Amino acid sequence: MAELYNTPNLDELENGPWPSFVTGLKRLASDSHAGAEMARDVLGTLETSYVTKKGYWKGGTVGVIGYGGGIIPRFNELKNEDGTYKFPAASEFHTLRIQPPAGMHYTSTLLRDMCDMFVDNGGSGLIAFHGQSGDIMLQGATEETTQTIFNTFNDYGFDLGGAGPAVRTGMSCVGASRCEMSNVNEQAVLRTLVNAFLDDMHRPALPYKMKFKVSGCANDCMNTVQRADFAVIGTWRDDIKVNQDLWKAMVADKGRSYVIDNITSRCPTSAMTLNEDNSITIDNKNCVKCMHCLNVTSPLTHKYIAKGDVEPILATGDDKGVMIIMGGKRTLKIGDLFGSVVVPFMKMDTADDFEAIEDLAGEVIDFFAENALEHERTGEMIERIGVVNFLEGIGLNVDPNMVNSTRTSSYVRMDTWDEEAVKWFENKAEASA
Amino acid sequence: MAEAPRMPIESGCPDPIQYMHPTMRRNYGQWVYHDRPRSGVLHHTSKNNEEVWTVRCGTARQMDVYTIRKLADIADEFADGFVRFTMRSNVEYMVADGAKVEPLIVALIEAGFPVGGTGPSVAMISHTQGWLHCDIPGTDASGIVKSLMDELHEEFTREEMPNRVHMTTSCCQINCGGQGDIALNIQHTKPPKINHDLVANVCERPTVVARCPVAAIRPAMVNGKPTLEVDEKKCICCGACFPPCPPMQINDPEHSKIALWIGGKNSNARSKPSFHKLVASNLPNNPPRWPEVGAVVKNILSVYKDDARDWERMGEWVDRIGWPAFFEKTGLPFTKFHINDWKGARHELNSSAYIRF
C-alpha cells in the first residue's frame, strides 16, 4: 500500500457532521484494490487544486466499442518539468455514465454488485449517485479498464447514458410508486421516451444535448421545466375531489383563519371559497392544478380520517394525463430558458397514447436535428426561429394555453388571418367531435 | 481472422419494478395521502390500506464503495434490502412496519448519515463536479457543499423553514448545478487570458467565435500565428469560449468570485416557476471551507426564516415584501450590477407606481 500524500486542505473537509467525500476517497486510497493508487493520486491532484485554486483535468476521446459517447474522458494536466505526470496513477480518471433504473430504485444486491463490478475491474471505487443528468457516475477508470467495466455492467443489464450532443439519460420522479399526487405512470413514460431513441443517445449526432424528464404533477420534483428540452408533467382536467366531512373537520380544528391564510387565499386564481358552514366550494373551471391546496391538506389528512377510511381531504381528479413543455435549459449560450407549453393535455393510458408521445418525440428530434445550429438547444432554436415555426415544423396546432398573453407587438404580417381563423374553428370542431 | 469485438447490448433505461420495494410495487398508483411523523420521515397510505414509511438521509454524493456497501447493509437489516435515491443524492429507505422506523434512524445516524431533508427543511445541495472531475471548473463543488451542509446540518435535520429550501452549487457560470432557492455559482470577473501560441493548434476558431454571446471574439495574428483576440470592453466574462478553446483561460484563482442567487423555484404551487436572481457577488473563492459564502447564506436563511410566512418559498417571500426590503433586512448592498441590462431586461424593471415607503 502506497503512502497517502499530505492533504492539509482536504483534511479540513473531514471535520463536521455531514458525510465527507474526502474520508471516502482516503478509504479507497488506503485499500489494496487495483484502483487504489488512482484514488490516492486523485487526492493529490485535488489537494493541488485546493492550494492553487485551479482545475487540472482536460477532456479527450475515450469510448467503448460500438458507441460514440457515454464516457467522460479526463486526463491529468499536472506534469513535472520533464513531462512526466506528477500524479501518474491518476494520469487518466475517466467517468462511465450508467443509466439507473427509472425512479432510481435499487436493491442492496444491485448496489453491492455495482461496487464489486467497478472495483474488481480496476475502477477507483468512487461512485456518484447521481450526476445532474441522472446518471450513476462510475468515477475513475483508465482507457484500458473502461471497456472491461462497461462490458461487465452491460452483461448485468445496464447501459451507458448519454454525453455530448446526444439524447441524454432521463429522470422521472418517484411518482406512482409512492406519491399520491401522481397523475401518470412516470417511469413508463420515461422509459418509453429514452429507450425509443437509444441510437441518438449512443451515437452523438444531434446539434446539442436533448433531455427528457418526467414529473408526475405540477410540483415538478424533477425540475423538468428548467432542465428538460422535452418535459412531461402529469396533470388532470376534471374536478378536484373533495371530502367535505374531512375538510370541515380540518377547518374546525385548525380554525378559519389558518385555512384562509394558508390555503384558500394562496390559490393563484382565487378558485376556492370557504363557506359559512366551513365547507369548501371550488371553481374547478378556474383551477390551474398548481398543487398548493393538495400539498397542504395531504399531510393533514391522517389527523381527521377514521381508521380504515382511505379518502384524503382533497385529491386529484380522475381524468388524468400529461402536458408537454419544451425548451428548458441552463445558461449556455443565450441564458437560462424555461420550457414553454406545446401540448396542454394528452391522455397517457393506452398503448396508443404511449405510441403517440413517442411519435411526437420523434418529430421533435428530427426537427431539432435538421434545424438547430451547432451547440444550440431546443429552447434556443425555438427562440431563434419563433415558436410558431417550431409548432408547424412538428405538426402541432396552436393553443391559447401556450401563451401568458397575446402579442404586444404590431410588427407582424397577418394576411392569412382568415385561413388561420378557419383552422381554429375546424380544430375546435374536430376536438369536440 | 481476428475475433469480432463484443458489441454492446443497447438495453437503455432499466425497468425499476424489479428493484422496487414490494409494498410500493403492490400499491403502484394507489397512494392516497401522506403525513410526516417527524423530520426525515414520510408515511404514505394507499387505497388498499397499506402503509409505507420512508426514512430519508443525506450522503456526500461522491461515495466510496465502502459507504455504498454500508448503505446496502442498512437496507438489508432494516428495509428488506431496498433503497432509492432522490435527485438531490439523498437515500430513501422504505419500511412497511412502523416499528422499524426508529431503529433505522438510529442505525443511520450511528453510521454518519444525517436523517432529514423532508418538508420545510434545507435539503441537500445538488451540485456539479468541480475540481474533482470537471474540465472547466472555477471552483470545487463537493467541497463547498460539504462545508455548507456542515453549517446547515441542523436545518437539514429539522423542519423549521417557512417552506422547503432547495440549494444548488455550480462550479462555473454555465450552471450545470441548477436553479435553487439559493444558488451558488462562480462568476468570472476578468476576460480570458489567451495563450496565443496554442490557439491555432487546439481550437476550431470559427466555433469559438460563434460561441461568444456578445461577438467580442475575432480572428487575429500574433507572433505570425493565427489566433483569436477578445474585445475586452465587450467581454462579459461568461467563459463560454473556454470549453471549446482551453488556451482562452477564464478561471482565475483570484478574480473568479462566487455569486449568490435566490428565488429559483420549479414547482408551480401558488405561483409559476421562477428563475433565481442575483443578490450577492464578489465573494472570495476560498477553499477549503469558503467561510465568506457560508456567512452570507446563513444570513439570508435566517432573515427568510424569521420573516417569511408559512408556505412561502424564498422567491415568493421577496415578491411579497419587495426587493428594497430584502436588501434592508439582509444588510446586503444593492449595486448597479443587480439591474439587468441583458436581452429582455426591461421586463424586469418596475413600470408601476408600486413603491413601499
pLDDT tier at B1, thresholds 50, 70, 90: low
Please check the confidence at residue A333 and state whether its pLDDT lies above 90: no
Using CB atoms, pick whichever of B11, B58, B69 lies closest to residue A18: B58
Chain B residues near residue A170 by CB distance under 8 angstroms: 13
- Across the range A13-32, mean pLDDT stands at 97
| pTM reported for the whole predicted model | 0.96
Q: Which domain holds residue B32?
A: 17-110
**Measured between CB atoms, does B83 come within 8 Å of chain A?**
yes
pLDDT at A80 over 90: yes
With CB atoms and an 8 Å threshold, state whether A185 touches B29: yes
pLDDT at position A341 over 80: yes
Phi, psi of B60 (to 5 degrees): -85, 0
Q: Which CATH number fits domain A175-236+319-402: 3.40.50.300, 3.30.420.40, 3.90.228.20, 3.30.413.10?
A: 3.30.413.10
Distances in whole angstroms, Cα of residue A329 to Cα of each of A128, A338, A396, B214: 23, 7, 22, 19
CA distance A173 to chain B (A): 8
Of chain B, the percentage scoring pLDDT greater than 70 comes to: 100
pLDDT exceeds 80 at position A308: no
User: With pLDDT > 90 as the criterion, what percentage of chain B qualifies?
Assistant: 94
User: What is residue A172's three-state secondary structure?
Assistant: strand
Q: How many CB atoms lie within 10 A of CB A5?
A: 16
Q: Does B54 touch chain A (CB under 8 A)?
A: yes
Res B177: pLDDT? 86
Q: Residue A309 pLDDT > 90, yes or no?
A: no
Domain co-membership, B197 together with B341: no
Q: Cell 441510437 belongs to which residue?
A: A199
The residue of chain B with its CA nearest to that of A9 is: B288
For B226, other C-beta atoms within 10 Å of its C-beta total: 12
pLDDT in tens, B192-243: 999 999 999 999 999 999 999 999 999 999 999 999 999 999 999 999 999 9
Residue of A nearest to B45 (CA): A310
User: Is B113 within 8 Å of chain A by CB?
Assistant: yes
SS3 A85: strand
Q: What is the pLDDT of residue A310?
A: 87
Q: Which CATH architecture best describes the domain A8-161?
A: 2-Layer Sandwich (3.30)
In a domain, B167, yes or no: yes
Which of A67, A102, A262 is opposite residue B16, by nearest beta carbon?
Answer: A102
Q: Hey, do A8-161 and A241-315 end up sharing a CATH topology, with the first three levels equal? A: yes
What lies within 8 Å, CB to CB, of A237 at 6+ separation is A317, A319, A321, A345
- Whether residue B206 lies within 8 A of chain A, CB to CB, comes out as no
Residue B64, classed as helix, strand or coil, is strand
DSSP element (H, E) containing B299: helix B291-307
- Rounded average pLDDT over A124-146: 97
C-alpha cell at B25: 410495487
* pLDDT category of residue B343 using cuts at 50, 70 and 90: confident
CB pairs A-B closer than 8 Å:
379
Q: What would the grid cell of residue B55 be?
A: 426514512
Task: Please identify among residues 293-352 of chain B the ones whose CB lies closer than 8 Å to any CB of chain A.
Answer: 309-311, 342-343
Residues B75 and B172 occupy one common structural domain: no
Q: For the residues A104-109, what does the mean pLDDT come to?
A: 98
Mean pLDDT of A303-322: 92
pLDDT > 90? residue A306: no
Helix (H) or strand (E) holding A264: none
Taking the mean position of all CA atoms in its chain, how far away is CA A1?
41
Same domain, B311 and B199: no
CA dihedral A160, B68, B164, B140 (to 10 degrees): -70
Ramachandran angles phi, psi of B45, nearest 5°: -120, 140
3-state secondary structure of B80: coil
Counting Cβ atoms within 10 Å, is residue A349 exposed (0-12), middle (13-18) or buried (19+)?
exposed
In a shared domain, residues B288 and B200:
no
Domain A241-315: CATH architecture, name and number where available? 2-Layer Sandwich (3.30)
Helices (H), A325-432: 351-371, 378-385, 387-394, 417-432
Judge whether residue A382 has pLDDT over 70: yes
Closest residue to B266, CB basis, from A103, A169, A223: A223
Closest alpha carbon to B92 in B26, B22, B165, B42: B42
Average pLDDT over residues A287-303: 97
3-state SS string over A294-353? Answer: HHHHHHHHHHHCCCCCCCCCEECCCCEEEEEEECCECCCCCCCECCEEEEEEECCCCHHH
CB-count burial class (<10 Å; 0-12, 13-18, 19+) for A424:
middle
Residue spans of the domains in chain A: they are 8-161, 175-236+319-402, 241-315
Residue B60 domain-assigned (yes or no):
yes
Q: Stretch B40-65: mean pLDDT, rounded?
A: 97
Q: How far is B203 from chain A (nearest CA, A)?
A: 13
Q: How many domains does chain B have?
A: 3
Amino acid at B134: C
**Domain match, B183 and B200 both:** no
Which chain B residues are Cβ-neighbours of A160 within 8 angstroms? 8
Q: Residue A259 phi/psi, 5° resolution?
A: -65, -40
What is the average pLDDT value for chain A, to the nearest integer?
A: 96
Cell of B149: 451542509
Mutation to test the B interface, candidates A22, A61, A107, A294, most B Cβ within 10 Å: A107
For residue A352, pLDDT over 90 is answered with yes
pLDDT in tens, B81-97: 999 999 999 999 999 99
Nearest to B175 among A13, A17, A331 (CB): A331
Specify if B3 maps to a domain. no
Q: Which three cell numbers stand for residue A421?
A: 381563423
Which pLDDT band holds residue A336 (cuts at 50, 70, 90)? confident
CATH number at residue B277: 3.30.413.10
Task: Indicate whether B181 and B198 sit together in one domain.
Answer: no
**Residues of chain A contacting B270 with CB distance shorter than 8 Å:** 266, 268, 290, 292
Count of positions (residues) in chain B:
357
The answer to whether the Cβ–Cβ distance between B19 and A106 falls below 8 Å is yes
Q: Taking Cα atoms as reference points, which of B195, B200, B247 lies closest to residue B227? A: B200
Residue contact B85–A104, C-beta within 8 A: yes
What is the average per-residue pLDDT within A247-258? 98
The strand pair at A171-172 and A212-215 is best described as parallel
Mean pLDDT of chain B, nearest integer: 96
Which pLDDT value is given to residue B39?
97
Residues 237-296 of B with CB under 8 A from A: 238, 240, 246, 251, 253-254, 256, 264, 266-271, 273, 275, 285, 287-289
Give chain B positions within 8 Å (CB) of A315. 32
Q: CA–CA separation, B288 vs A51, rounded Å?
A: 9
Q: How far is B221 from chain A (nearest CA, A)?
A: 26
Mean pLDDT score, A163-168: 96
**Least CB–CB distance from A331: residue in B59, B174, B246:** B174
The Cα A97–Cα A73 span in angstroms is 11
Give B211 to chain A, closest Cα distance, Å: 7
Residue B201 falls within a domain, yes or no? yes
Q: How far apart are CA B36 and CA B51, in angstroms?
A: 13
Partner-chain contact B275 A336, CB within 8 Å? yes
What the block records as the C-alpha cell of A281 is: 366550494
CB contact under 8 A, A179 and B31: yes
Is B355 a domain residue? Answer: no
Residue with cell 454492446: B8
Cell of A109: 444486491
User: String of b and e for B166-188 (b: at least 16 CB within 10 Å)?
Assistant: bbbbbbbbbbbbbbbbbbbbbbb
Note whether B24 and B52 are same-domain residues.
Answer: yes
Give the C-alpha separation, A352 to B253, whole Å: 56
Contact A338, A231 (CB under 8 A): no
In a domain, B132, yes or no: yes
In 3-state terms, what secondary structure has residue B78? helix
Residue B22 has pLDDT above 80, yes or no: yes
Per-residue model confidence (pLDDT) at position A433: 85
Q: Kindly list the residues from chain A whose CB atom is less than 8 angstroms away from the CB atom of residue B19.
A: 101, 105-107, 110
Distances in Å between the Cα of B234 and the Cα atoms of A327, B214, B336 are: 28, 7, 17
Chain center to CA of A305: 35
Residue A331 has pLDDT above 90, yes or no: no
B236 shares its domain with B184:
no
Neighbours of A291 (CB within 10 A): 20
Using an 8 Å Cβ cutoff, are A363 and A193 in contact?
Answer: no
- Which of A331, A348, A384 is the best residue to mutate to test the B interface, defined by the most B CB atoms within 10 Å of its own CB? A331
Q: CA A160, B123, A235: angle at the middle one, nearest 5? A: 70
Are B83 and B174 members of one domain?
Answer: no
Q: Give the residue from B133, B190, B204, B214 with the most A CB atoms within 10 Å of its CB, the best one to mutate.
A: B133
What is the C-alpha to C-alpha distance for residues A95 and A76, in angstroms, rounded to an integer? 13
Task: Write the CA distances from A12 to A54, B149, B164, B209, B289, integer angstroms.
Answer: 18, 14, 29, 42, 8
Cα dihedral value A212, A216, A218, A223, nearest 10: -40
**pLDDT-based confidence at A1, cuts 50/70/90?**
low
The backbone region for B174, taken as left when phi is positive above 0, alpha when psi lies in -120 to 50, beta otherwise, is: alpha
What does the pLDDT average to over A198-209? Answer: 97
Residues in A touching B68 (Cβ below 8 Å): 111-112, 114-115, 127, 129
Report the residue of chain A nearest B272, measured CA to CA: A290
Together in a domain, B173 and B92: no
- CA-based nearest residue to B294, from B145, B156, B165: B145
Query: Could you tell me if residue B1 is inside a domain?
Result: no
Position A59 confidence tier, pLDDT thresholds 50, 70, 90 = very high
Does any domain span residue B5?
Answer: no
B253 contacts in chain A (CB < 8 Å): 52-54
HSE, side-chain direction, 13 A CA sphere, residue B294? 17
Q: Residue A335 CB: number of other CB atoms within 10 A? A: 17
pLDDT for res A362: 98
Q: Which residue of A has its CA nearest to B134?
A: A57
- Please report the DSSP string for A3-71 in residue order: PPPP-HHHHHTT-SSS--HHHHHHHHHTS-STTHHHHHHHHHHHHHHHHH----EE------TT-S-SE
Task: Kindly state whether B45 is in contact with chain A, defined as any CB-CB distance less than 8 angstroms.
Answer: yes
Co-location of B150 and B295 in the same domain: yes
Residue to substitute from A217, A223, A318, interface B, most B β-carbons within 10 A: A223
Q: What is the CATH number of the domain that holds B220?
A: 3.30.70.20
Residues B97 and B35 grouped into a single domain? yes
Q: Which of B176, B246, B273 sits opposite A226 (nearest CB)?
A: B273
Can you list the pairs that A272-279 forms with residues at least 24 positions away whose Cβ atoms lie under 8 Å? A277/A248, A278/A247, A278/A248, A278/A251, A278/A252, A279/A244, A279/A247, A279/A248
B216: contact with A, CB 8 A cutoff: no
Residues 6+ apart with CB under 8 A from A45: A56, A57, A76, A78, A86, A87, A90, A93
